Structure 1
Amino acid sequence: MIRSTYLTVIFFLTFSLALAQDFTINGSVVDENNIPVVLANVILLGEEGEFIKGTVTDDQGDYRIHSIAKGNYRIVASYIANIVESDLLVVTSSIEMPPLVLQSAQELDEVVVTQNKPKLEQLADRHIFNVENTAISDGDIWDVLKRTPGVMVMNNRLYVNGSSKVNIMINGKLVNLPEEDIINLLSGSSASNVQSIEVITSPPAKYSAEGGLLIDIKMKKNLVAGYNGAVFNRYTQGVLPKHTVGTDHFFKGKRVDFSTNYSFSHDRDWTRYSDATTFFEDGQENEIWTAEQKSISKGKSHNLNLFLDIELNKKNALSFSSTSSFSPNNNTIYTSSTDIESTNADVIARLKGLNTLGDDTYNTSNYLDWVHKLNDKGAEIATNAHFTYYDSKDNQELNNDIVVGFTENTSENTLNISSDQIINLFSAQTDLTLPLSKQSTLETGLKFANINSESSILQSGFDETITNINPSESGIFNYDEQI
């Protein structure tokens, strides 16, 4: 009896493992000369183009994607501005893919274009993508990140080595902003002021508390003594226009370096979305729901960056940096219409929806650093103080109305939501770096952080004529933390 029980358990475990079996796709990415492409982005997409997972190629140009269920997929590989896509893959077992070949841009007989190519430098803990004075630096910083080897942007989210836990730094200073505000900041900042993008896959000890991988955006400094500056104006016309204007300034003295960048962006986006869903009842088509949604977004953003470096003497250096972003009166309007039809194309009901979203966001992050060199062998003490202030106000109105059908239940429902959040972050940190030999370095430090957050939300609406229902709700949330 016991033996039969064991055999039954083993059978079911084996059967379950077989059903849950995942597969692997192996392959490589090469250029047109059959040379392996290192740090090419490789993305696994579903049959409908949805993002599944991603990775990057290794030093041999090879990639491996694990834990893939049965299904239909496509592989897309990209490196800077070059993209290649595989045919549709039917995955029923592990697959060894033929090499994906990235083709360079076409060469025209009558046109000669001279430009610097972006350079990729690989170190033990990071790779550095040098973009200064290249064609890539003609856009904004967000566009540069999209082309940086080893960095993937899917649905406006950053991925490094397949991980979405990525922190952004500017000149070695962490940017304490929500993801959507980081996008606004980088989209409104000209890449002409960027020297390089460093993708740090093994963060130094002083960043280990934050967790995740790091992308450090290195801004240019004036290498020649004196002053230089520039004014830029960028305009893009699609269905709706986008406009960015700004200015850069650099000054270098004997012991003082100063740079500042200001930009103003006015973006407008128009999106249209259609969807048709068929519902079945008892194995037969019953209803068809056809939805049409349109959205118009309008946003303005002011971005200001300041960097000041002062060499006090040969052993002491002081620096101050500030990153600020102000986005007032941003709004998005969603309109939707859904038709519910029978299989005979008769309209059973029609639903109308209106969603209006407005927000104001202000953020400023300020850093003060002091570095004292203990000797000429790399030993130093670094002290940093940081303060971030974040204020976000959101207002949303949702309106739903049944305009056709369901006459006995026809009603108009409205929901209003307003929220406000203020966050204060303060931290102070001291780090000691002490080289022990050519092969080893001791790093240790002490950090204090204080977080204060005050949030409030108020909602009112839906059908206020309904008895025994209070449609108004409010909440206040205060949070304090010291580490």
Structure 2
Amino acid sequence: MSLSGQVLDAQEQPLPYANVILLGESNQEMITGATTDEEGNYRMGNIEPGSYIIRISFIGYTDQELQLDLREDRILDPVKMTEEAETLSEVEITVKKPTLTRQPDRLVFNVQSTALSEGNMMEVVKRTPGILVLGESITVKNATPEFYINDRKVNLSSSDLLQLLEGTAASAIQSVEVITNPSARYDADSGIIVNIVMTKNLVTGYQGSVFGNYIQGVFPKYSGGTTQFLKNKNTSFFLNYNYNHRKINRDNEGFVIYPDDTWTSDINRNTWSQTHTVNFNFDVDFNEYNRLSISSNMQFLPYFKYLTKSRTEITPPTSQPFAFFNATNLSRDLRHNMGFNLDYVHTFKADNSKLMFNAHTTLYDYRRNQEVVNDYFREDGQFRESNAFKTRADQNTSIYTGQIDYSLPFKESGSFEAGAKYSKVFTESGLVQRIIENGFEIIDLDNSDMFDYDEQVYAGYVTFRKEIGDWDLSGGVRAEQTEVEAISASMTNNNTQSYLEWFPNGSIGYKINDNTSLYANYKRSIRRPDFRNLNPFEFFLNDNTVVVGNPALQPVFINNYAVGGSIGKHNFEVYFRQEDGKIFELPVQDNDENIIRYTPINFDV
């Protein structure tokens, strides 16, 4: 089934970038979602028949909820949003509202000194127009964006990124930029970028704050930290520290249909975590033409516990030697991620051009100890047998990059940029599984492995922008030579890849008058499979569910097209994205062994 409609503001004008979330009526679990386009329209497809709740939200407006029973494709009546208003007797409170600014290649959401700055980064991201957050998934225009902080890429997995966003205070944020058409200066794998711009202290002296937060849900969550600013004539220092303690509980159901029977599971998941997040930035202005900056984003998880309990019943029970089984999966993680940047900027006095150098390193260390127990029972409830094993997984990753950029502003409106970059990713991983028999641990050689991954990328780019009368032209091209070598103890041949690819992008805009303008954009980008997807380790969640990588994955090439414009206060855009070889994680069902293997594959339509 499909569901579509329109969202209007208080003046009954189309409201773009509002979040529309579809929830299950019984448990209010998030099913799917969408972001309204420039005309306030939204559409959601592939929805099962049932009863649902629609929740519509946008910053500065009261959330709207609608109940509906979906039995066929439906187009809902327009929903009019109501501006938030609060009146206190004999008290007048003035609050600065966040502002939204559209630029040719991005949306800029300014949140400094607003009510949003009282929470954490994740709360700001959820409220940013154009960004849709569903559970642990963050999307922009149905694509997963790359995250940058102060124009520097954040090298984190999706789960670690969420930890970072939830563990960093929003008081340190100046704005959030949703860059839908990044220039050739950015890496080719940055199709859409969310750049978080941190605030800087412009006033000489010291400022500091201490904050805390407590949320009582099913389980309590609490956090605390401090933000410090210090500036004198030539130097400035910023420090943010945050501690986050939380427990999360989730319940869900699942089923697998085999040829002779159906397996139905009730699953309970609990996560405990303690996270320390540290961000700092140190700037030195030697003079008005030379600046040195040192910055870091660090995350430490000394305690992370993940417990999954499930009960699986088999129908009909006579099809297997057991009728149901209980599975317990307990994992304890210890990990840290430390990223450091060294930047130097020299401004030439003659033409105000800039020469910029950047060196970056990320050090990531991960350890997991896993214990799995599966107890099997007959139809009459009598215990039949038990199977147990332990797993130790280790991963060490080092990322090194070096970049040089040159920027030349034209005397008339426009600019020219050129640069080069080298990056290296090296990962060492190990997995040891031990079977527990009669109280003794025996190494399972068939399910133990080692994996080394080495990726090097050599890149160069040129880009320009020029305004000619009412026309605004920009374009560029980036070339990237990629060298990959993956070595696994379980593979007979090493996985090597070597390819040179070109990534052009361009934009053209035309201003018809002060209230009307048009534009068109094009960009080619890449999504490389990372070492997590290529890693051939078989990681057992229980006896019948396995997560395994795919060493044969190939990079995905993406062509992005967009045409849009503005008429007065109304904006519109139509975009098309073509992905060659898109990667999906699919469940592969083994009917002979009754095993589900989740593995990523390239998929061409």
Normalised TM-score (structure 1): 0.81
Q: State the secondary structure of the residue aligned to 1:142.
A: helix
Which residue type is aligned with residue 15 of structure 2?
A: V
Go from structure 1 to structure 2 and tell me whether the alpha carbon gap of 1:45 and 1:438 turns closer, same or farther (over 3 Å shift).
farther
Cα shift at 1:141: 0.9
Q: Separation in 2 of the partners of 1:444 and 1:276?
A: 52
| Alpha-carbon distance, 1:51 to partner | 3.9
- CA deviations over 1:128-185 (Å, ceiling 9, x no partner): 2122222222111111111111111112111112212x11111221111111111111
Equivalence for 1:398: 372
**Distance (whole Å) between structure 2 residues aligned to residue 260 and residue 137 of structure 1:** 16
Q: Report which of the two structures shows the higher radius of gyration computed on alpha carbons.
A: 1
One-letter identity of the residue aligned with 1:39: Y
Distance 1:89 1:338, change over 3 A: closer
Which one of the candidate residues 91, 94, 108 is aligned to 1:128?
108
Structure 2 residues without counterparts, runs of 5 or longer = 458-605
Provide closer, same or farther for how the CA distance between residues 400 and 112 of structure 1 changes in structure 2, counting only shifts above 3 A.
Answer: farther
Structure 1 residue 205: Cα displacement: 2.1
Q: CA deviation at 1:192?
A: 1.6
Runs of at least 5 residues in structure 1 that lack an aligned partner in the other structure: 1-21
1:326 counterpart (280, 300, 314): 300
Matched with 2:329 is: 355
CA contact (8 A) 1:383 1:430 kept: yes
Query: Normalized per residue, which structure has more helix?
Result: 1
Amino acid at match of 2:8: V
Letter in 1 for 2:213: R
Q: Is 1:419 paired with 2:366? A: no
After TM superposition, the structure 1 = structure 2 runs for residues 39-438 of structure 1, keeping only pairs within 5 Å, are 39-43=17-21, 51-52=31-32, 54-58=34-38, 61-63=39-41, 65=43, 76-80=55-59, 82-85=62-65, 88=68, 97-105=76-84, 107-108=86-87, 110=89, 113-164=93-144, 166-271=145-250, 273=251, 275=253, 291-338=265-312, 349-375=323-349, 379-405=353-379, 410-436=384-410, 438=412
Q: Which residue does the alignment assign to 2:456?
A: 482
Q: Secondary structure at the match of 1:309?
A: strand
Change (3 A) 1:87 1:407: closer
Contact kept in structure 2, 1:378 and 1:435, CA below 8 Å: yes
Compared with structure 1, are the counterparts of its residues 298 and 376 closer, same or farther at alpha carbon in structure 2 (3 Å cutoff)? farther
CA gap of 1:109–1:302, structure 2 versus 1, over 3 A, is: closer
Q: Is the 8 A contact 2:167 2:244 kept in 1?
A: yes
| 8 Å Cα contact 1:395/1:417 also seen in 2 | yes
Q: Structure 1 residues 222-231 or 433-442, which shifts more?
A: 433-442
Please give the alpha-carbon distance, in whole angstroms, between the structure 2 residues aligned to 1:155 and 1:259.
31
C-alpha distance 144-160 of structure 1, shift in aligned 2 (>3 A):
same
Question: Does the Cα contact within 8 Å between 1:393 and 1:418 map onto a contact in 2?
Answer: yes
Amino acid across the alignment from 2:212: N
For the 8 Å contact 1:460–1:472, the answer to whether it is kept is: no
In the aligned structure 1, how far is the partner of 2:115 from the partner of 2:381?
61
- Matched-pair identity in %: 33
Hey, what does 2:12 align to over in structure 1? 34
Deviation at 1:409, TM superposition (A): 8.3
Give the stretch that moved more between structures: 435-444 or 213-222. Answer: 435-444
Q: Which moved more, 1:140-149 or 1:196-205?
A: 196-205
Count of residues in correspondence between the two structures: 445
Q: What CA deviation, in whole Å up to 9, does each residue of 1:327-368 have, x standing for no partner? A: 01311222233456889xxxx944222110111111111111
Q: 1:408 to 1:303 in 2, by over 3 A?
A: closer
Query: Which secondary structure state, in structure 2, belongs to the residue aligned with residue 182 of structure 1?
Result: helix
